[in-house]
Structure 1
């Protein structure tokens, strides 16, 4: 299961060791919040897949993970089976146009993106449920 961390500046898609290997990727996917154009929930992330793996791993109906090339652009996908997911359209991101993930925390991501969050990254599920506290601004910053 993919972990989504959010802070005041960026969203981080944290990959496990196996996911890093299958995606042919050394780093996690970092997305500046200002680059997030639209977030959509989907019942089947496979319907959003476009292009061909490059580099990535694809077992039809089972797993699609890594970068997907299409019409001169790239998406990052992490799709497992036919599960609900989230589609994140990006504008101005230096690497990807779209992020497609299967996750049970899609609604939590949408809710967390609407909130002002702390500078320190926290799991979107914790932010959306309120289990991560948002520290108040220092008195001198409010003036």
Structure 2
């Protein structure tokens, strides 16, 4: 799970060791708050991918991590399965035009980006805990299978 740190000047996407390895990235992604033009929540981040991973890892429907290059610009993606995600459009960022992240804290991130005056870096989960409950998308319900009907007697 991606860790997001937000302060009054920047949003930092802190990558775990495995995320760094799969995205072929040495460091975290740092985004100035002034470069963020729009933040959108989505249920399926796969529809937002454009271009090809270069460098990055892509296993269709399972994982997409790294830089995605296209004619429209470069995107950075950390996507796991079909889970709720956030799409951050950037304007004037030196590396990327869009960041696509799978996170269950997307609503908290949107709320936190509206908060002004935070002096030190705060984890988005802590902000969500202060502002209310963290919404969680319910998982798929499992179907109960009944016993097969006995074969008719002949």
Larger Rg: 2
**Number of residue pairs matched by the alignment:** 131
The one-character-per-residue Cα deviations of 1:104-133 (angstroms, maximum 9, x if unpaired) are 0000000000102422111112123328xx
**1:120 corresponds to which residue?**
120
TM-score by length of 1: 0.88
Cross-structure match for 1:54: 54
Q: Distance in 1 between matches of 2:106 and 2:117?
A: 17
Could you say which structure has the higher strand fraction?
1
Task: List alignment gaps of at least 5 residues for structure 2.
Answer: 132-154
Cα RMSD (Å) of the superposition? 1.1
Q: Which runs of 4+ in 1 moved over 4 A?
A: none
Which residue of structure 2 lines up, in the alignment, with residue 7 of structure 1? 7
1:71-118, Cα deviation, whole Å (9 max, x unpaired)? 062000000000010000000000000000110000000000010242
Aligned to 1:95: 95
Q: Gaps (5+ residues) in structure 1?
A: 132-143
Match of 1:20 in 2: 20
* Alpha-carbon distance in 2 for matches of 1:37, 1:85: 17
